[in-house]
Amino acid sequence: MNQEEITRHKLIKFIKSNDPFYLFSNFDHHSMEQLEAMKNKIEQEIKTIVEERTQANNPKQKILNS
């Protein structure tokens, strides 16, 4: 894993735990702006995946979208 993948993995753990101390103890080599941008991107990806899965599992929604 490269550094970006490691940071992404740690951010996903942070999002799941929602523990502010985890953030400060694991990301000392990144600025808060970088972390916030990465966190927002990951949260948006998660939201998109959830929406896609919800639509895939909802037959009424499939009909409305077609």
Spell out the domain ranges in the chain: 3-65
pLDDT of residue 35: 75
> Are the beta carbons of 11 and 38 closer than 8 angstroms?
yes
Could you give the CA distance from residue 34 to residue 40 in angstroms, rounded to a whole number? 10
* Whether pLDDT at 66 is above 70: no
* Whether pLDDT at 50 is above 80: yes
pLDDT of residue 3: 78
Exposed/middle/buried for residue 30 (C-beta within 10 Å: 0-12, 13-18, 19+): middle
Instruction: Tokens for 17, please give them.
Output: 């735990």
Q: What is the pLDDT of residues 11-34, one digit of tens each?
A: 777 777 777 666 666 666 667 777
- pTM as predicted: 0.52
